[in-house]
Amino acid sequence: MRFTILSSLILLLPMSTAVIAGQGQIEFSAVIEQSMPQQEPRESKIYIGDGRMRTDITVNGKTMIQIVDMKQQTAYMLDPAGQSYMVRKAGPGEVMPGGASVAAKDANPCAGMQNLGCTRLGVEDVNGRPAEKWEMVNTSPGQSGKMIIWLDQERHIPVRQSLPDGSTMEMHLIGRETLNGRITEKWEMTATRPGGQKYVVEQWFDPVLKMNIREERPGGFVSEFRNIKIGKQPADLFTVPANYKEVSIPQGGGAEPGRSGEQ
């Protein structure tokens, strides 16, 4: 059985589904509709639980399930057809804010994060909004680099980022809009790559869910949450079934993996 994780699966994860909100996150489920010019529309399902998130993705007729556990800082990729799964440590980009709300005002955004330290640098104005400025340092073995992040004091979301490679991101609040009966805030995100290339993404942030529920990217890509149902999610949605076997993560992402412990 070939069990491969394609990089395209990551691209299919919408908006904030690669991250999990922090304290006070409301539990809910939703259908994610995605469209792109000259491609068939795609649907996936997302479940947001207590510090955990599950996304069911179908690509070329094959369904894959990604579960991210913020409390354990662990990510799982399940293959229901093969009744197998892969597990790895979730990176900071999956459990740190990226459109989802984080801890309460003045709380350390690195709290509970392994190999990641934060230093508060004060409060600065970002596009007319006060924001907490933090320096984040990766202390993982063999890795280094500092990232500066500004967290909006009201929404506790990143409104500016400066990465070690020179990339930057900045958010600007456009105004309020009603989307599928929900009151949202429309934000414009401008990202700048090290070479100076810029691209703009529009995001609709739901203050109740503390997540983006719509995103429009350059090239016509649109991703939107629909059929949102608020309520506590069953715990078994976020656990690996007992009859699933763990397999190794393939080298390069496409090799034939063996089971854990096999030679």
Please name the amino acid found at residue 206: D
What is the residue extent of each domain of the chain?
7-240
Average pLDDT over residues 8-27: 49
pTM of the model: 0.78
Q: What is the pLDDT of residue 172?
A: 95
Whole-angstrom CA distances from 150 to 47, 81, 122, 132, 243 are 28, 42, 10, 5, 44
Give 23-81 pLDDT, tens digit per residue: 467 899 999 999 999 888 889 999 999 889 999 998 878 899 999 988 788 899 999 99
Torsion angles phi and psi, residue 112, rounded to 5: 85, -5
Fold adopted by 7-240:
outer membrane lipoprotein receptor (LolB), chain A (2.50.20)
Name the pLDDT band for 253 (thresholds 50, 70, 90): very low
Q: How many CA atoms lie within 13 A of 93 on its CB side?
A: 7
Q: What is the DSSP string of 137-192?
A: EE-STT---EEEEEEETTT-SEEEEE-TTS-EEEEEEEEEEEETTEEEEEEEEEEE
Dist CA 189 CA 170 (whole Å): 6
Name the pLDDT band for 260 (thresholds 50, 70, 90): very low
Count of beta carbons in the 10 Å neighbourhood of residue 188: 14
For residue 150, the cross-strand partners are 133, 160
